[in-house]
Amino acid sequence: MQENKHKLYQNPNGPEIGTVSAKVLEVDGLYFKDLAGTGELLPYEDWRLDDETRAKDLAGRLSIEEIAGLMLYSPHQMVPTMPGGPFQATYDGKPFPESGKEKWELTDQQRHFLDKDHVRHVLAMKLESGEIAARWSNKLQEFTEGLPWGIPVNISSDPRHGASKAGAEFKSGADDVSKWPEGMGIAATFDPDTCRKFGEAISTEYRALGITTALSPQVDLATEPRWMRFEDTFGTHPDMVAELGKIYCDSLQTTSGEPDGWGKNSVCAMAKHWPGGGPCEAGRDAHYPFGKFAVYPGDNAADHRKPFTEGVFKLDGPTGCASAVMPYYTVSWGLDKQDGKNVGNSYSRYLVHDLLRGTYQYDGIVCTDWGITADPLPTIDSFSSRCYGVEDLTVAQRHLLAIENGVDQFGGNSEIGPILEAYKIGCQRHGEEAMRARMEQSAVRLLKNIFRCGLFENPYLDPQESTRVIGKEELCQAGYEAQLRSVVMVKNQQALPVQGRKKAYIPGRTIQARKGFFRQPMPEQTVQPVTKELAEKYFDWAERPEDADFALVFIESPLSDGYSAEDLAQGGNGYMPISLQYRPYRADAAREESIAGGDFREDFTNRGYKGKTGTAANESDLDLVLDTKKAMGDKPVIVCLRMHNPTVVSELESSADAILVDFGVQAQAILDLVSGKAEPSALLPVQMPASMEAVEKHCEDVPFDIEPYVDDCGHAYDFAFGMDWSGVINDSRVQRFKK
């Protein structure tokens, strides 16, 4: 194992100093890094000063090129970058396997954007292990310490603790981060302390990985049940989402014992997506041009802002406010009452400059969502083209417009050229002094976050210590217990728990070919939800239903698409209903005319789909339940629904003796609940709709305006409904948040 290259200097009652190439100054018996190489202590190098003072001093010394680099946020980085995967890179001009490099070495592209483009904000996607992540982080920090001003790298990550992406079985042993339910599952516990532990675990493990910014929490209000990002939210109730957002940010950002809360254990929170990304029209998502519009038929934008204005902007802890905010891709249709412009949120002066910066006085970082400044592609069915409403501007003009609005940073951009061109245009428009001042304002905000986390003093990690911390037993156990507490039982006709060593029939699933997240074709999939090895730790395995004592049928929410190139080719407008039921759904109750519409690639504005039929790629999940029930006869059929989106269960409920709803847990957690090793205790943080007609009638921006499903037992699958072994839960949590 390679030895650590950095040297450590311990200040009495002060921060530890870690350095590889920078000299260390001793002033007043204290240690400081001579990052500028001047031989004297500059204000930004003096850790005794507050972060604002240090950031302003350094920002004032930087060139426009260096400030432009701070305003960039790298594309997704894979560590190491392997051939055949996304976001390709090279090592000394060669693919990784041919390079002979260690897995934590920097790529050619990383060296270039750190040095030539002055990038200091890097988004990590794939990190093969904790040790490799720590060593890669050290390599980044060592490289930038040797560059002018010695500005450290702020590494960020999208959420990486979701149990649904983990293996089927609970594991610990520092081989990976702890696994927790998705955001909706945290909400389903109705337990603030679980959210607090969740944030603390993320903070602990992120810092061990070298990560100092989390691109979370997602505090969008989940009012539109068809939205593909629904499960990542904290639910539908504005007060609940605000509370959990607060707790998450506090636990992420706070270093205990520091007067202002910031320090070596802090992770900056980037709350998203301003002004609320939830009310996408008909559930279509704004990652794609065909889903770019958010609509407000209920005139209820205020509820969507509440998790920000009453939540993450008003933290109870000492850090006070989420350190960064990300606007969503969407065109928030009709919200701009000032200028009447329907453009992407980062391009809206009203939403960013007037509302966020002005009315709500937000002074943290505003970072765009990824890839909004590039020129659009010719096809609307694409994973790109997000310069909504400003397609006629140049790339540089788009950057300038966002900067003028109060945006500080551009997600997914690692080239300074467009920002430098924007600066030149801005100087002609506003004068060089004013444009320099505006850019410097962003530099101060961005540098403050790097100072806050102690990176200027010691950004280096001990890889062995990181390996010990990441995935340690207590964090993994806390995450697993949260998984158990996040599963909602909505039905139980004396089928659960299954006592004793019974024979279980657990059928496999099939998902038809469909389009994936990147709009790439995905082939038909066969899925075995539980391995025989894991199942036999609880029950005997039955190959056929007739040999079983009970059946455990795993299904997931209907997988449906809101756009069809085939429909377009056949003379339609391409827009299709997103269905939350399994059987083909004909949208006879849909709007005649869409609320929003218009695109340079379309010669119409009506994105409606009334009368069209939507299909689910996993329609066979329904057949799996019905066929299993038929084969089992009077023997119990237990359905476990992995619910990405609120599901119309009317097609299957009467064929299930018990229904468990999970929001991203490992299979072992389901088996622990089914076998009675744990008892369900969660409550629905959303409504489950009675029908697709009920969904079509509701307003995308209004919470709790959908008729909930009522089952054969007379139970309404409504907000805060759930069951334990004794029946319907009616504890203090149920009454806490009123609809």
Can you give the three-state secondary structure of 138-170, one letter per residue? HHHHHHHHCCHHHCCCEEEECCCCEHHHCCCCC
160: closest CA among 202, 196, 193?
202
Report the C-alpha gap between 230 and 224 in whole angstroms. 8
Contact status, residue 148 vs residue 70, Cβ threshold 8 Å: no
Enter the tokens of residue 221.
């209000």
- Distance, in Å, from the CA atom of 353 to the CA atom of 366, rounded to the nearest integer, reads 11
Residue 709 C-alpha from the chain's centroid: 29
Strand blocks (E) in 275-413: 293-294, 324-327, 331-332, 365-366, 410-411
Q: Which residues pair with 26 in a beta bridge?
A: 31
CB 688 within 8 A of CB 235: no
**Contacts by residues 577-580 (CB-CB < 8 Å, ≥ 24 positions apart):** 577/282, 577/609, 577/612, 577/613, 577/614, 577/692, 578/226, 578/282, 578/283, 578/284, 578/614, 579/614, 579/615, 579/616, 579/692, 580/225, 580/226, 580/645, 580/646, 580/647, 580/648, 580/689, 580/692, 580/695
User: What averages of pLDDT result for each successive group of 10 residues across the chain (739 residues)?
Assistant: 78 96 97 98 98 98 98 94 90 95 97 97 94 97 98 96 69 70 97 98 97 97 97 97 98 96 98 97 97 98 98 98 98 95 98 98 97 95 94 98 98 94 98 98 98 98 96 96 98 97 97 94 94 97 97 97 96 98 98 97 97 97 98 97 98 98 96 98 98 98 98 97 98 93
| pLDDT reported for residue 225 | 98
Spatial neighbors of 536 by CB under 8 A, at least 6 apart, are none
Strands 503-505 and 550-556: parallel
For residue range 238-273, what is the model confidence (pLDDT) as tens digits? 999 999 999 999 999 999 999 999 999 999 999 999
C-alpha span between 411 and 76 (Å, rounded): 10
H/E stretch holding 55: helix 51-61
* pTM assigned to the model: 0.96
Alpha carbon separation from 670 to 171, 476, 488, 530, 648 (Å, rounded): 15, 17, 11, 10, 21
* Angle formed at CA 217 by CA 484 and CA 334, multiple of 5 degrees: 125
DSSP 8-class letter at 212:
E
Cβ atoms of 256 and 45 closer than 8 Å: no
Structure tokens at 425: 């245009």
